[in-house]
Structure formats: structure tokens, C-alpha cells
Amino acid sequence: MAKKAPNPIDKHVGSRVRMRRMMLSMSQEKLGDALGLTFQQVQKYEKGTNRIGASRLQQIAHILQVPVSFFFEGAPHSGHGSGMGEAPSPAYVSDFLATSDGLSLTKSFMKIKNSKLRRRIVDLVEQIAGEE
């Protein structure tokens, strides 16, 4: 029997939980303890393997000090909209920020006070990536 792929919204919410937890330098174990769960369960939530119920999401929001709406920012649309052509959401930004490299890079970059130096770093990265 084939494994069912996680729902894109469950994956998005989970990645936002992970991103916020990492922003607070909180381990999966610490979040799990606060929720009365194992770190493995937190891991499943963050991967979108297990869906987070409404009351649990409320708990997580309280522990991570964000409104529940934070977890849905930039979420993919269900496709049952008005039929209007909407721009795709920048989910890649959330995906990047949910990684340890993305979060570390962002935190370090924001500590650079010199705006010209920040711009030169962006230019360098764009050149390395082959963008013009």
C-alpha cells in the first residue's frame, strides 16, 4: 500500500511551527514537553505527516508566542477560490526560513548594519547563483 502524501497545508503549518520554534532556539523536545508529547510527535507535526488539531495549534501558538494566524501566512490555496488568477504564494521563502541554514543566514544577515555591505552580499549571491 502506497504512503499517502501529506496535505500541502499541513506541511506548510508544520514548517511554520518549525521555523518559529527555531527562531526561539527551542528544541523539539522542549516543545514536546510543554505540550505533553514526545519530540517524535513534534517532528511528525513539523513534517506535516500528522495533522495538528485546532486546540493543539492554539497551545502551540501560545507556547511559541504567536497568533494562530501566523501558521497560515503564505499557505497554499485550496484551489476552490473565485476563479480569479492569483499570484502563487512565495512558499519557497517559508521553506527556506524553516531550515537551519535559512534561519541562521537570515539572523546573521540582519545583524549587518551597513546597508551597502548587505546589498553587495546580495549582489554576490545573485552572481554565484547565476542571476542577473
Residue 15 · residue 98 · CB < 8 Å: yes
pLDDT score recorded for residue 126: 85
The candidate with the shortest Cα–Cα distance to 42, out of 64, 61, 27, is 27
Whole-model pTM: value is: 0.67
Rounded to an integer, what distance in angstroms lies between the CA atom of residue 1 and that of residue 101?
Answer: 35
Q: Residue 40: exposed, middle, or buried by beta-carbon count in 10 A (0-12, 13-18, 19+)?
A: exposed
Look up residue 104 and give its amino acid: S
6's grid cell: 501529506
Torsion angle, CA of 107/111/116/122, rounded to 10 degrees?
-10
Please give the single-letter amino acid code of residue 101. Answer: D
- Residue range 87-94: mean pLDDT, rounded: 60
Q: What is the DSSP string of 89-106?
A: P-HHHHHHHTSHHHHHHH
Give all domains of the chain, ordered by start, each with its CATH number: 1-75+92-98 (1.10.260.40), 104-132 (no CATH)
Q: How confident is the model at residue 82 (pLDDT cuts 50, 70, 90)?
A: very low
What are the tens digits of pLDDT across the range 34-79?
999 999 999 999 999 999 999 999 999 999 999 999 998 888 775 4
The grid cell for 128 is: 554565484
